[in-house]
Chains A and B, each alone.
Chain A
Amino acid sequence: MVALVIALALFFDFTNGFHDTANAMATPIATGAIKPKTAVALAAALNLVGAFLSTEVAKTVSGGIIREGSGGVQITPDIIFAGLMGAVLWNMITWLKGLPSSSSHALFGGLIGAAIIGIGFHAVNLETLLQKVILPAIFAPVIAGLVAYICTRIAYALTARHDPETGSKLTQKRGGFRTGQIFTSSLVALAHGTNDAQKTMGIITLVLISAGTQQPGSGPQLWVITACALAIAIGTYAGGWRIIRTMGAGLTEVKPAQGFAAESSTASAILASSHLGFALSTTQVASGSVIGSGMGRRGTTVRWRMVGRIALGWLFTLPAAGIVGALTALLVKTGVVGVVIAAVAGIGAVLYMFLVSRKSQVGHHNAVEVEEAGQAIRFAKKKALARARAAERAKNKNLKGPQL
């Protein structure tokens, strides 16, 4: 059971990674600041570094939402297994739909559902739930969006260049922001690594402690840290292209200065919140920033229909993951056979969704579209144009060749 939970936890870390690549890298890819492949590699490396950077781990994962420890209830590996199943499945579903949704909320939802079935309703601390999950979920996008709006306004106001005599617009020369985007997006990726890899480390440590193989109250072991860091890095490198497309192009059209402003706000918000102890979800902050920056730049429209879809996804995250977690907990309760059924069903569902994603990949040109969109902008445009011309010339030569 312990091995099974650890494997599932690492897989959750993997889905967390590829689900959240978009937070850091969607805007630089959309503006063409970094090539898609390079971007995900950079994000993966920084996630790896970030996972090792922060040593302040092993806080209880659920953050007191489930009353655990002395005087509370005992969290068993069974419940963690069920909770993780809910989180993983919800992550896969939202990825399939291309919706950026918070992996931590999925995890909370799964654990809550599993705890209600496995232990009882009294296991859930509603006040902490409100304070740690629901209110931040409302404020995170609002704060990030507002800050991004202000920053975008400032960035454009400061770099607007007019001819002093005629008042006509000069060339704006805002290309420098593209370079800046590389740094700000790296910062976001780093912040993500320090935040999200810790969750899985905490879970595995919790399982090890409850199984009695580790001293209570001790930090995560080195192999746990390494495995989690690797899992999140590999997941990031796999790249959730569907979500990147939503964040980079689905919400609003992103320009370099705007992307720079959005990423600065995202990075500041995540780092400030994780430092000052008011946890905000990376995904929600990043989405809010992109929307806010879209409102800040003149001449862009925010696609509110997409915003609505994402908000709806956030609303469903907690209950949906909770239901899956609860169902799994029910299965697990029946004994070994139930665990096997749950594991097989989970693997089956993940495989099924993967297959479905392969099917529509061909239909909608998902990943490819992102890659081409990224390369088609400015930097690569010249190269692509040159290549196209060369190809044309070669073709003409071939045509003429045999005739002469």
Chain B
Amino acid sequence: MKWLELLTVAGATLVAAVTVVVLYSLGVRLTAIAGDRQVAAPAWVKYLSYACFGLCGLAVMFGLYLIIPYFSG
């Protein structure tokens, strides 16, 4: 029985999903703060949110790169 492979799959799934969700949630959160009407948020908050979305996209791209045999050989 391939228990080790099962564990690897479970671990990889957890790491990948949590990475994506944390980055995207932070992005959403920061966008929300940047968009607040009452309290003017510093400009860097907005850029930080962009950075979060960007990193999230990169993480997904990296995953695709690993999966598609054409790229990773």
B29 partner, pick from A53, A139, A161, A277, beta carbons under 8 A = A161
CB of B32 within 8 A of CB of A159, answer yes
CB of A268 within 8 A of CB of B12, answer yes
Q: Which residues on A sit within 8 Å (CB–CB) of B63?
A: 268, 271
CB of B25 within 8 A of CB of A143, answer no
CA distance A268 to B21 in the complex (A): 11
CB of B66 within 8 A of CB of A275, answer yes
Q: Which residues on B sit within 8 Å (CB–CB) of A272?
A: 9, 12-13, 16
Q: Chain B residue with minimal CB distance to A177?
A: B28
Q: Which residues on B sit within 8 Å (CB–CB) of A273?
A: 9, 13
CA distance A144 to B8 in the complex (A): 13
CB of B1 within 8 A of CB of A264, answer no
CB of A268 within 8 A of CB of B13, answer yes
Distance of B64 from chain A, by nearest CB (Å): 8
Once A and B bind, how many residue pairs between them come within 8 Å at the CB atom?
118
Q: What is the predominant secondary structure among interface residues of chain B facing chain A?
A: helix
Task: Report B1-45 CB contacts with A as 1/0, cut-off 8 Å.
Answer: 110011011101110111011101111110110010000000000
CA distance A271 to B20 in the complex (A): 14
Q: Which residues on A sit within 8 Å (CB–CB) of B66?
A: 271, 275
Q: Chain A residue with minimal CB distance to B31?
A: A176
Distance of B56 from chain A, by nearest CB (Å): 8
Q: What is the predominant secondary structure among interface residues of chain A facing chain B?
A: helix
Q: Which residues on A sit within 8 Å (CB–CB) of B68?
A: 53-54, 194
CB of B69 within 8 A of CB of A269, answer no
Q: Say yes or no for A154: interface residue by CB 8 A criterion.
A: yes
Q: Chain B residue with minimal CB distance to A275?
A: B67
Task: Report A262-283 CB contacts with B as 1/0, cut-off 8 Å.
Answer: 0011011101111111101000
Task: Write the residues of chain A forming the contact surface with B, with a CB cutoff of 8 angstroms.
Answer: 53-56, 131, 135, 139, 143-144, 146-148, 150-151, 154-155, 158-159, 161, 172-174, 176-177, 180, 183-184, 187, 191, 194, 257, 260-261, 264-265, 267-269, 271-278, 280
Task: Write the residues of chain B forming the contact surface with A, with a CB cutoff of 8 angstroms.
Answer: 1-2, 5-6, 8-10, 12-14, 16-18, 20-22, 24-29, 31-32, 35, 60, 63, 66-70
